[in-house]
Amino acid sequence: MSQKKNNSPQELIELAKEIRKNAYAKYSNYAVGAALLGKSGKVYTGVNIENAVYPLTICAERTAIFKAVSEGEQEFDAISVVTDNGGSPCGSCRQVLAEFGLDMVVYIADGEGNLLEETTVRKLLPRAFGAKDLD
């Protein structure tokens, strides 16, 4: 799903909450939804998709990023992440988010849509490894 709207923090949270219903979490029962706001104003959603071979599972945040990039967007303002208990993005997701902007705002919300934390990728992943480290 990509769409343009007002894209307030609460709207991003509501989109993540709604798309979370599509999560394929039959092993962990830990459904995650994400809504990613591109600089263009478009919003890209994602869910976690599990696999019986656990390492092949993909998180909601990475699903949203990969969808956006595959549609030509590479600059982002914010992402919302919704789980039942307000879980934070995992390390792999933090690294992928860092690739596209350390100052990206991250909204973490619970399953009811309550904003629990507003932070940035930089704060979630201090001293992030990036392209500068490959020189």
Residues serving a catalytic function are 61
**Residues 48, 20, 46: CA angle, nearest 5 degrees:** 50
Name beta bridge partners: 125.
Answer: none
b/e string for 60-87 if b means 16 or more Cβ within 10 A?
A: bbbbbbebbbeeebeebbbbbbbbeebe
Query: Which residue type occupies 65?
Result: I
